[in-house]
Structures are given as structure tokens and as C-alpha cells.
Structure 1
Amino acid sequence: MSKEPLKTLSDMAREAHARVQDRHQHINPVVGVRSGMRDIGIPADVMTIDCLRTRRRINLILHDEQPGMLLYQFITIEDEAGDDFQSVAFSEVNTQKLLEWMEAYFD
């Protein structure tokens, strides 16, 4: 998979992170990009957005077998990612959507 969607998602997450910190001092999300899935042969890139205060996590997956889609899941930090991912067209994801997800789920 081209690294372009991951770079685009990373840029959006970075901007959403800055905005949520400006608006909500008590929400300090931690954004991480994980390569572990590719390391074990699963063709996907994973981003996690964690809120340490609420122990909640948003999983975002760009899977090579579903180009143009973003898989997402709202779980807790302690939970393992399950099979109950929702999907949205990547073209519909933007900084504002990520910000809204963080505000709604982490606050």
C-alpha cells in the first residue's frame, strides 16, 4: 500500500490532536502509529488514539485489501481489538471528523 493514506491520516490526527488540546485541557490524546500488523504478515497500517484519563482508545486501520476505506473501532485501552470494526470511506475522513470522535468519546 502507498504510504500516502497513512501520511494523510497522520497529518489529520496531528491537527485534530492540537485542536482538542486547545478546546479541552483535560483531554490529552496520545496518537501512535503501529507497524506490528505488517510485521506479522497482515497488510495493514494501524493508528491508535488513546485518552489516558478515560482509558479509551480509537483504533484506525488502513487495510490494503480495503483500499479507500478507513476501519475504525472505539474500545478501551485494556481491550484487544475485536472484529467489530466499522468502516467509512477514507475520502469522508477529515480533521474535523477525528476531532469530533475524540471529543465525543474521550470527554
Structure 2
Amino acid sequence: MSPKSQEPPYLLAAQAGSVVRHLQSSLRAGEPASPADLCRTIGALQQLADDLTQVLPGLQGQLEECLLAGRVGAGDTAGEAWDKVAEVGYALAQARTGGLLMAAELRVSRRTLGELASS
């Protein structure tokens, strides 16, 4: 599964970062939000986390393809280049695991907030 947008991944990441920074700024300023707004915000963050977990393995595959095609690692020995690609792959796998955990916790938060708002 991949994100539904046709935008390049780096633009989507920049947009998501901008939205999160705006949210952080609003929270710091103490701007009130309704439970419905909070629920929608948590839902959007959960969707972002879900999308990230889907895209990260593809990034590793693209990096490996670039290495095999000679577009990265040209200044390194083959072993050094593969070691670096493996290191990036490990970091991406760790990030994916963190994203899966975050998405699960956001789902729980959203459900609980929805229950709280409806009571």
C-alpha cells in the first residue's frame, strides 16, 4: 500500500512537518480546541503514521537500486557502500517499528477521545 497522493514523497513530508509545527505552535499558545477537532487531528496524525510505515520499506528498496545502478556510493568500496546502505536500512526499519507503535497508540487515543466526547 502507498500513500494516495501523487505528490513526491519529500513534498508530502515537508507539508506534514509544517502541519505538525503549526499544531505545536497552537498548543503552546494555549489555543482551545474542541474534542471533535482534537479527534480529527489525532486521526490525521494516525493516518500520517500509517502512511509512513508503508513508505519506509520502499525507500530502502530505492536506495539499494541506486547503489546497484552506481548512483550512490561511487566514492566507497563495494563493502563500504553496502555497509552504509545496510545502516540506513536498519535505521529505516527502526523508524518503521516506531511508526507502527505510534499509529497504534494514536488509534487508541482517538477511540478513547471519541468515547469521552460522546459521554
TM-score strictly above 0.5? no
Give the TM-score taking structure 1 as reference length. Answer: 0.27
Give the TM-score taking structure 2 as reference length. Answer: 0.25
Q: Which has the larger radius of gyration?
A: 2
Quick check: which one's strand share is greater? 1
**Which structure is richer in relative contact order (CA contacts within 8 A, separation 6 or more)?**
2
Quick check: which one's helix share is greater? 2
